[in-house]
Amino acid sequence: MANTEAALKEAMSTIEGTIGVALVDYSSGMALGTLGGSKDLDLSVAAAGNTDVVRAKVRTMELLGLKDEIEDILITLGSQYHLIRLLTGRNHTGLFLYLALDKTRANLAMARHQLKKIEAELEV
């Protein structure tokens, strides 16, 4: 089992094209841990903003009566992918991993696969 710091380091080092990564509590919008980022990508701001995205999707699914789980949410920009992976399991309720990728260097399918693996090993 990996702790938050180890999980974020693994994401930065093993997922090609990673710009930044964060573990976020979407009940509060607070980042529990961040790694990476840039002057153009403030991970604390991204954590808070993407909390609104997650809350909106959860609320929409409830209104539609969908009895399913969100695996991940993908936001595609001109030069980046932003991947939000909701964590499941008894210790992970209300958390998501946020990953920002450089679109020219990233393999989206591999990033999703690796993020799922990191989630499985994460102990919060």
Taken as a whole, the chain contains a residue count of 124
Predicted confidence (pLDDT) per residue in 38-84, tens digit: 888 999 999 999 999 999 999 999 999 998 989 999 999 999 999 99
CB 110 within 8 A of CB 15: yes
Q: Rounded distance, CA 48 to CA 43, Å? A: 9
Q: Rounded distance, CA 25 to CA 70, Å? A: 15
pLDDT over 70, % of the chain:
95
**Average pLDDT for residues 98-103, to the nearest whole number?**
96
Confidence of residue 90 (pLDDT cuts 50, 70, 90): low
Residue 79, amino acid: S
Confidence of residue 106 (pLDDT cuts 50, 70, 90): very high
Q: Which residue has the tokens 């604390």?
A: 44
